[in-house]
A and B are shown apart, each in its own frame.
Chain A
């Protein structure tokens, strides 16, 4: 299945998610006018979401992302782990 979702992060930027999935995420793209440092880490962020169960809660996805950011010294500006998780869940509804 394929899903997309867009949301405006309160006080932040626009985020758009495109995801292919069945029981779990096969591929995902996180798009938008936000900032992520270092920029190259976007691909690793997307890779880390592959395999996530579609049943995972927004909070579980958000925590997983936040741990990844903390562990890899990734800084987000205008977007948050929570907002990415929220968009992802919206796209898989």
Chain B
């Protein structure tokens, strides 16, 4: 059986992060790359929106531009996410669909189960919350999104490390009524973070999630191939284009 490739924590901007994920998907489809688990951060911090969302509806574009925050449309559905450089860890897992449960719901459960196992290393007791979230006592700590293309499954997701709700709201469009102190408090009551739960360092979180994702899997530490990087640089043109980002 083919070993997994694990690409250790990297930092890229939003357009490269999304291009690399799609390039890897294409390479696995063409049997030029092994199934891959990848960890990354967003530098600069960025907002990503789901495939079916409207950039103008969801994102405070003016504020993002003035603060140097990237904004990008993902290949996957789901909601808008503020990816704070210091505030979260992102992973992607990409492999043949046959390696995962056929049911979308069950495959979310299986992959999220690995994150939950990772969090257990930090003595954090988290639960899967269908469709695509992980929660601790009802408070969200991880959001995940999955696509399937030509026999390949790609799921990426974030684990919140430190959350600054007011900063998050400054980049996401919510009505003025909703951004009131009351609303921020209610979101703070519905969201938590690894730091708030356990006080561990970012590196400890990364180590725990790495363990959760790789446990009982045969894997090699690898890098993005030159062919994947070349294709990613082509895909970057799409991900950084207004045609794509403002297509809806």
Contact = CB atoms under 8 A, between A and B. Distances in A.
B148 A31 contact: no
Interface of B: 50-54, 57, 75-80, 104-105, 131-132, 145-149, 248
Contacts of B57: 16, 31
A35 interface: yes
A88 to B, nearest CB: 15
28 contacts: A12-B131, A13-B79, A16-B54, A30-B52, A31-B52, A31-B54, A31-B57, A31-B248, A32-B50, A32-B52, A32-B53, A33-B50, A33-B52, A33-B77, A33-B79, A34-B77, A35-B77, A35-B131, A36-B52, A36-B77, A37-B104, A37-B148, A39-B51, A39-B77, A42-B51, A75-B104, A77-B104, A77-B105
B227 to A, nearest CB: 25
A38 B149 contact: yes
A75 B97 CA distance: 15
Contacts of B104: 35, 37, 75, 77
Interface of A: 12-14, 16, 29-39, 42, 75, 77-78
Contacts of B54: 16, 29, 31
Nearest to B130: A11
A77 B131 contact: yes
Contacts of A14: 79
Contact of A78 (B75, B80, B131, B248): B131
Most A C-beta atoms less than 10 A away, residue of B54, B75, B80, B105: B54
A69 to B, nearest CB: 14
Q: Which 4 A-B pairs have the closest CB atoms?
A: A33-B79, A35-B77, A39-B51, A33-B50
